[in-house]
Amino acid sequence: MGARRSALGWVLIGALVSWVLRPASAEGPTTRQILEGAEARIEKHRKGDGVVRVVDAAGRPVAGATVQVEQTRHAFLFGCNIYWWGHSRTPEQEEAYRRRFADLLNYATLAFYWNGYEPQQGRPDHAHWEQVAQWCKENGVVTKGHPLAWNHTDPPWLPDEPNEVMALQLGRITDCVSRFRGLIDRWDVVNEATTFDNPEFLKRSPKLSRTWQQIGQIEFARRCFKAARAANPSATLLINDYVTTPAYAKIIEQLVDDSGKRLYDVIGIQSHMHLMIWTPSLVWDVCERFARFGVPLHFTETTILSGRRPSERGKPWLSTPEGEAFQARETVRFYTLLFSHPAVQAITWWDFSDQGAWQGAPAGWLRHDMSPKPVYLAMKDLIKGKWWTARLDGKTDKGGEFRFRGFKGTYRVKVDTPDGRSGRQTLELGDRGEVIVRMSASSSSPGEGK
């Protein structure tokens, strides 16, 4: 009976969100069209056509060479915040946290909340996050810093004068972005600009909020982006918000420099679902609303829970078997829809484990003991299974070519010729990808790629 009531609760939540968060118009595709078209869209937008060309030292095609092509990395960014790195309760749990993160994900968000990052002026916590970022680099995980500017909580040492606060804010951005260049080259520059004048923030962060108000909502954001760009011209800069209405789009429209050039590279969209699950129509509506800006979309903070909030205050928020089944099912659905939309290039989960999760919620793909939930196993089946190109074997044709179609990303190419020569190469596959493996007279060849 208890399981039935719990399952009913999930259904009611889904029904409620279907009504509350339904699309503003009925002109778009139906829910059935969105869901049934996902596989075809994934085939079209997430795969590319690759060519391995094998030639001899004189550039002549080599027919009949054996070719092996194996994917080693996704182009799409599947990520999570990595806030609990180094904080697990036991060494065994820490090892499991890191291993399971690196086994599945290729993208990590690192914490740069100003009040916690620099609790004493001039003493920012660079060392810890440099260590985390270095671990990520060694394990093939791309990193992003979050956030550079947000008026959630004032550092306790901030002065009262807004112009001084603005100067310190820009100095912090310059310091972090320049210091971590090469380790962290993606940044959530401005967080939740739509609600910069939130009354709760005004109480908790009066100095930053007052500065933002005095400088102006858009001008404050512009200055932050300009400082980040100057500190690392090649960095990828995001604006990030949980508001997905036209109010967010209006801010994005104004986030340009004096010549009208956009200051951001990526639009970040939060999708915490602690109470309500996004319907397929809402997912599609949000993607379409922001895809019109012509830049990649990153779903920066995604949460679907594996247990319902306790009715009594103070009781632990527990993961349950029925909740875990629900979490796995809905996460697969949500990721499939996003992966099928051509504008989306990254999805970041929030948090990786229940241990240390935001609000104490059962949000993780791992339980408190770091054992994997069904959602972890289901997502591994997708990310490293269904959406992964397993090893392909074949032979070059008369023109010395081996052609294949696979998921976009990095591939390891191995070539062996009938006369005993071999070559190795790396291929980067986008919509198309080509690598030339030149077989010299020696037993191996580094090859050429493009």
Work out the mean pLDDT of the chain and round it to a whole number. Answer: 92
Span of 41-55, 282-296, 358-372, 435-449 with lowest mean pLDDT: 435-449
State which of 345, 363, 386 marks the end of a domain: 386
pLDDT tops 80 at residue 203: yes
* Per-residue pLDDT band at 29 (split at 50, 70, 90): confident
Q: How do residues 215-239 score in pLDDT, each as one tens digit?
A: 999 999 999 999 999 999 999 999 9
**367 with 426, same domain?**
no
State which of 386, 405, 428 marks the end of a domain: 386
Q: What is the mean pLDDT of residues 24-44?
A: 85
Residues near 259 by beta carbon (within 8 Å), at least 6 away in sequence: none
In a domain, 326, yes or no: yes
What is the secondary structure of 295-340 as a DSSP string?
Answer: S-EEEEEEEE-SSPPPSSTTS-----HHHHHHHHHHHHHHHHHHHH
State which of 331, 359, 386 marks the end of a domain: 386
**105 with 50, same domain?**
no
- CB count in 10 Å sphere of residue 227: 21
- Residue-level pLDDT at 17: 41
In a domain, 436, yes or no: yes
- Residue-level pLDDT at 413: 98
State which amino acid sits at residue 328.
A
- Give Cα separations from 78 to 105, 190, 349 (angstroms): 5, 22, 8
**140 with 52, same domain?**
no
**331 with 349, same domain?**
yes
**296 with 201, same domain?**
yes
**263 with 117, same domain?**
yes
CATH at residue 103 = 3.20.20.80
Q: What is the mean pLDDT of residues 105-120?
A: 97
- Residue-level pLDDT at 27: 67
**212 with 296, same domain?**
yes
In a domain, 39, yes or no: no
* Per-residue pLDDT band at 94 (split at 50, 70, 90): very high
In a domain, 3, yes or no: no
Which domain does 56 fall in, by range? 46-65+396-449
**121 with 161, same domain?**
yes
Q: Residue 47 pairs with which residues in a beta bridge? A: 407
CATH at residue 415 = 2.60.40.1120
What's the rounded Cα separation, in Å, for the pair 192 and 265?
16
- β 432-439/47-56 pair status: parallel
CB 351 within 8 A of CB 83: yes
**412 with 370, same domain?**
no
- Residue-level pLDDT at 75: 98
In a domain, 189, yes or no: yes
Q: How do residues 314-372 score in pLDDT, each as one tens digit?
A: 889 999 999 999 999 999 999 999 999 999 999 999 999 999 999 999 999 999 999 99
- Give Cα separations from 450 to 50, 405, 409 (angstroms): 11, 17, 14
Q: How many domains does the chain have?
A: 2
Q: How do residues 366-425 score in pLDDT, each as one tens digit?
A: 999 999 999 999 999 999 999 999 999 999 999 999 999 999 999 999 999 999 999 999
- pTM, rounded to two decimals: 0.91
Structure tokens at 91: 């060494």
Percent of the chain with pLDDT over 90: 86
CB 229 within 8 A of CB 257: no
In a domain, 8, yes or no: no
Residue found under tokens 């920066």: 300
**108 with 181, same domain?**
yes
- Give Cα separations from 91 to 97, 110, 128, 179, 355 (angstroms): 10, 21, 17, 30, 14
In a domain, 6, yes or no: no
**80 with 209, same domain?**
yes
**278 with 407, same domain?**
no
Q: Residue 61 pairs with which residues in a beta bridge? A: 55
In a domain, 70, yes or no: no
Q: How do residues 4-14 score in pLDDT, each as one tens digit?
A: 334 334 333 43
